[in-house]
Amino acid sequence: MPEQNIIIIGSGMAGYTLLREIRKLDPHTKVTLICADNGDFYSKPMLSNALDKNKTADALVMQTAQKMQQTQNFELFKRCKINSIDIKNQQVSSRSQLWQYSQLILATGARPFVLPIQGNGAQDILSINHLDDYRAFRHKLEQAHHIAIIGPGLIGCEFANDLLGAAKTVSIIGPDQWPISNLLPQKIGQFLQHKLQQLGVEFYLNNSVQSVDQHASGYQLTLSDNTTLQVDLVLSAVGLRANLDLAKDSGIKTARGYVTDRYLQTSVPNIYALGDCAEVEGHHLPFILPIMQSARALARTLTGDKTAVSYPAMPVAIKTPACPIVVSPSANKQAQWQYSATEDGIKALCYQQDQLIGFALAGDAVTEKQALTPLLPAVL
């Protein structure tokens, strides 16, 4: 019988969390981790609030790749890009090497979405999706005072708040009617906007960037309403798209991510997916808590105890200290929100037939998270 070899592609939060969960259950089965970066372990969500804490890229590393190998007993191939999967022979290959797998886990994460922006400065727009991006951002930020952020979503607002702490001027541009409109009901989003505006953030909503051109020592942005902005640096935070390159020749079914069942198995036997690249039973949840739940269940399955993943209610904490927010968005986009003001905040509750199905808490209302979360139905 061939040697068991669990191969994990990706060294982000999903890949390393799964590895740790496997080792809790099975210290000995061979595990191989293949990644495109240097394999150091860090928390990607920390990238959007590291500046105010004066954290360099190196300081964000929680454990080096070498330390991870010492503690978790696995074989590591770093700075290595997998080009293809041979599902018939259960092999993956790079340009120079081939590996045999018994089970293959795709934890390939997501990449920034690139907007079709015109202008001779468009190629200088920064996206921050890993440590090397953050390292380049910190270097360029040393000479920058006014930063334009394209995208008023969760990451854009977190970066805006972080930049305020570094005494930077921030402008946020996007087509949304209010910040983080994909997660927050209107009054909560507007409350956040007001708090950030009080600290100096300029919002250009119902708008988009048409062109970015080099101008003096910085850039000139031309918006869809013909407004022009002079800035020193342009940061794109318009969202991520799952890395699905390995589906091209392997025939793995995809939608917003690799489509999996509740056991995290894709449409191909012995190939699993989790994290930002996975769509689990119709749910694409690129957040920490779903990754943790998925990794625990998949580790049990891979070690012989077939276990379906369950998602309880998992509120998301948005890292904007100027206006703390916790949200458990409602899956029912037509549902109506009920608002009530607190001393310095807003509480929004969403009901369906007397059942609480979502909430959003801003400011001092976040203290109600612990009481409200147990009232929510499970996600899966």
Express each pLDDT in 227-267 by its tens digit.
999 999 999 999 999 999 999 888 999 999 999 999 999 99
What's the farthest any 2 CA atoms get from each other in the chain? 68
Q: Are residues 43 and 140 in the same domain?
A: no
Is the model more confident about 179 or about 4?
179
Confidence (pLDDT) at 1: 46
**Burial zone of 81 (CB within 10 Å; 0-12 exposed, 13-18 middle, 19+ buried):** exposed
Q: What is the domain extent for residue 332?
A: 324-375
Q: Is residue 107 part of a domain?
A: yes
Whether 94 and 126 share a structural domain: no
Q: Within this chain, do residues 210 and 247 fall inside the same structural domain, yes or no?
A: no
Domains of the chain: total: 3
171 and 230 fall within a common domain:
yes
Residue 317 is assigned to a structural domain of this protein = no
Q: HSE of 120 in the Cβ direction (CA atoms, 13 Å)? A: 4
Q: Are residues 209 and 153 both part of a single domain?
A: yes
What is the C-alpha separation between 332 and 116, in angstroms, rounded? 31
**What tens digit of pLDDT does each residue of 302-352 get?**
999 999 999 999 999 999 999 999 999 987 777 789 999 999 999 999 998
Residue 316 lies in a domain: no
User: 246 and 226 in one domain?
Assistant: no
Q: What is the mean pLDDT of the chain?
A: 95
pTM for this predicted structure: 0.94
**Same domain assignment for residues 245 and 105:** yes
Give the pLDDT mean for 9-16: 97
Domain-embedded: residue 313? no
Same domain, 106 and 118: no
In which band, very low, low, confident or very high, does the pLDDT at 2 lie, cut at 50, 70 and 90?
low
Evaluate whether residue 380 is within a structural domain. no
pLDDT at residue 11 is higher than 80: yes
Q: What is the DSSP string of 16-50?
A: HHHHHHHHHH-SSS-EEEE-SS---B--GGGGGGS
Residue 1 placed within a domain: no
How far is the C-alpha of 116 from the C-alpha of 118, rounded, in Å?
7
pLDDT, average across residues 1-7? 81
Quick check: 40 pLDDT over 90?
yes
Render pLDDT for 161-218 as a digit per residue (tens, 0 to 9): 999 999 999 999 999 999 999 999 999 999 999 999 999 999 999 999 999 999 988 9
Identify the pLDDT of residue 332: 77
Cα(346)–Cα(327) distance, integer angstroms: 12
Report the CATH number at residue 31. Answer: 3.50.50.60
Last residue of a domain, one of 192, 212, 236: 236
pLDDT band, residue 34 (cuts 50/70/90): very high
Statement to judge: residues 101 and 244 lie in one domain:
yes
Is 163 found in the same domain as 104?
Answer: no
**Residue 125 placed within a domain:** yes
Tell whether the model's pLDDT for residue 43 goes beyond 50. Answer: yes
187/251 same-domain check: no
Q: Does residue 235 contact residue 157 with C-beta atoms inside 8 Å?
A: no
Q: Which of 209, 236, 263 is the last residue of a domain?
A: 236
Cβ proximity of 362 and 324 under 8 Å: yes
Asked whether residue 185 falls in the same domain as residue 292, the answer is no
Domain boundary among 221, 236, 251: 236
**CATH code of residue 350:** 3.30.390.120
Q: Is residue 307 part of a domain?
A: no
